[in-house]
Structure 1
Amino acid sequence: MKTTGIILHSGLLAFLIGISFALPSTAQAQLLTPSSSDQKHYLIAQSEPDEAYDPFSDYSEFDEDSDEEADVNFFRNGRFLTVGIAAGYRGFTGNFADQYSAAPDFGLYLTYFFDLRLAMSLGFQTGDHNVKFTANDKAVTYSGNVSITSINFDLKYYMNTQNVTRGLADLNPYILGGLGQFYRTYTLSGLDGYSRDSTMGFDIGAGLEIPLMRKKAFLGIQGTYHYVNFSDENKTRVSNGGGTDVLDKPLSGDMYDVLFILGMNF
């Protein structure tokens, strides 16, 4: 009986010792083996050679920001449309200066702005001038009136004045150039059948605008030279209805005008 108890005691002791050795190894195995919740997943980026360059997605953020800034500046400080009335003085060059008298002219202007610097202008001008021709060594004199009307399409470019002094920065200087259609109508005493003709011409000029009423209006001054070539230019003969007289001076020259423009901005 005593021997049996000793054997049972020894077997229980060996079982407990085996469990004690097995438990640390199992716990260590559990600690070394990461759980599914502790595992981290990584995605490896892949690139395909055909999609290495995309012209629609490859852009410069700096250029886009500058364009956006320019648009915001235009909507905040720019003008879309201006309408103005003009009055000024028209003169002539060449022999026209001796045959046509300088006189006031009047007009209307409509200007559309593409951005802060570039604009397109549509203008209408008209004016009457006294005219006097002499022919056959001043033996014959033609006098009367000539009316000149023009429709002008010009592009305006406004200068950047941000780097000048504060007083001059508010001014808007510009240069212009374009085309014009000029109509000339004579009303002369003693000359029949000398009525109306027209020609195309070129415009070149410059101007300056002074803002008024918190930039809602402006007062401008503009000087323009008009290069014209009428059908009788450089000719010394004119029909008087019954014959042909020889003019003492040929018809030749161009036009220029200086205008004051009062306009409204929209």
Structure 2
Amino acid sequence: MAKVAFLGLGVMGGPMAGHLAKKGHEVTVYNRTAAKAEAWVQANGGARADTPREAARDAEIVFACVGNDEDLRGITLGEDGAFAGMKRGAIFVDHTTASAEVARELAAEAAERGIGFVDAPVSGGQAGAENGVLTVMCGGDAAAYAKVEDAIGAYARACRLMGPAGSGQLTKMVNQICIAGLVQGLSEGVHFAKRAGLDVEAVLDVISKGAAGSWQMENRGRTMNEGRFDFGFAVDWMRKDLGILLDEARRNGASLPVSALVDQFYAEVQRMGGNRWDTSSLIARLER
């Protein structure tokens, strides 16, 4: 068992840190809103710190799950950042979905300080975090990854090193590209079935057993049909992720016409007031 820190206790980070505590790790947490960190300690034990630097002091592994590139820089760099408190040989594991560019930037900064850095975005959503069954895509040095793989296993059912720094973030971009097109296709299929007068639940039940089946169909098809979008991965977060991957595509020359189109469809959902709706709410713009 390790002495660890966890920075960021949102809908993903809070449960992930909780699984580390349940596995017996000694966990110190930091959250921008101190009351949330205090509530986590009351529920899970461990300790709370007032700054990322304080939380990271003496930790063997420092985990983070925050909002975006700037949030990540905010908790790692500067006088009160985690890097300033970490001892040589410690490893920073970033679960934020961020850019590959910031992963490479922070990996280089960490290396200068004698710290390991692993970019490790996750897939599986809030339910995956709560149930400890996330998929984790990692980038970084193989030796650093080997030191943190077992700890990540506290909340992951799959974890793999994909390559050097930034490779985890690039793999997460592939994940989001595939999801975006799939959810749009499922939305159109459910919408078509309703307009055709079919029993949508019966349609989903039969086609989910064939080549059209997917996680999204199994977990979101029926709630899309019912117009329920009060759970899961928010539209605002998906637009952030699509923005990151479309920026990366402009740099590497990849052609992503479907992803770019679905990004604009999500912008329409935002204009409908669906910022915090689940990403399956794409169907809502078809049924206005």
Structure with bigger helix share is 2
TM-score clears 0.5: no
TM normalised by structure 2 equals 0.20
TM normalised by structure 1 equals 0.21
- Give the number of the structure whose alpha-carbon radius of gyration is greater: 1
Greater relative CO (CA pairs within 8 A, separation 6+): 1
